[in-house]
Amino acid sequence: MKRTLATVMALGLFSSIALAQYQNPNPNPNARNEENRQERASGINDKVDIVNGPNIANVTGNSAVLTWQTDNVAATRVRYGTDRQNPQQHAYIAGGTRDHSVQLTGLQPHTTYYYEIETRGGSDRFKGSFQTP
């Protein structure tokens, strides 16, 4: 009986840990994470990795906030827009940081937007999308 109870408890703990790995570490009721499709950009070798996020938050019909964290100091550069192949809007914050947060403005309601987090040199570090309400 003790062995069965210990096994059940261990399985429950393992399940909780496994589930936590797949949940958003910073849930936000304003984020549309279920609609936030993300793709990892390839070919970047600049010793900077995104270690948390990106997360879309405070999404309204005309703006959103994109946040992410990197393991080393990096530029905060984002291109975004409705054209997946060539997003035309830009958001940039001078300097470098590990904690990145940028306001995406000029959005339209009920529209899918694509974003590209760029390296300091302009290569795509990460690509994703979200939809405005």
Domain of residue 35 covers 29-131
Q: How many CA atoms lie within 13 A of 38 on its CB side?
A: 16
Domain membership of residue 6 (yes or no) is no
Going from the C-alpha of 120 to that of each of 1, 61, 123, the distances in angstroms are: 60, 29, 8
Number of domains in the chain: 1
pLDDT value at residue 47 = 84
Is residue 47 included in any domain, yes or no? yes
Can you give the pLDDT of all 133 residues of the chain as single tens digits?
Answer: 555 444 434 444 444 333 333 333 344 434 433 334 344 343 455 789 999 999 999 999 999 999 999 999 998 999 999 999 999 999 999 889 999 999 999 999 999 999 999 988 888 999 999 999 9
Q: Is residue 113 included in any domain, yes or no?
A: yes
Whether 101 maps to a domain, the answer reads yes
Q: What is the CATH number of the domain that holds 37?
A: 2.60.40.10
Sign of CA dihedral 118, 105, 113, 57: positive
Within a domain: residue 13?
no
pLDDT for position 51: 96
Task: Name which of 119, 126, 114, 117 is nearest 42 in CA terms.
Answer: 126
Nearest to 84 by CA among 122, 50, 128, 118: 128
Which residues, including other chains, have CB under 8 Å from residue 6's CB and lie 6 or more apart? none
C-alpha angle 101-69-96 in degrees, rounded to nearest 5: 70
pTM above 0.95, yes or no: no
Residue 99 lies in a domain: yes
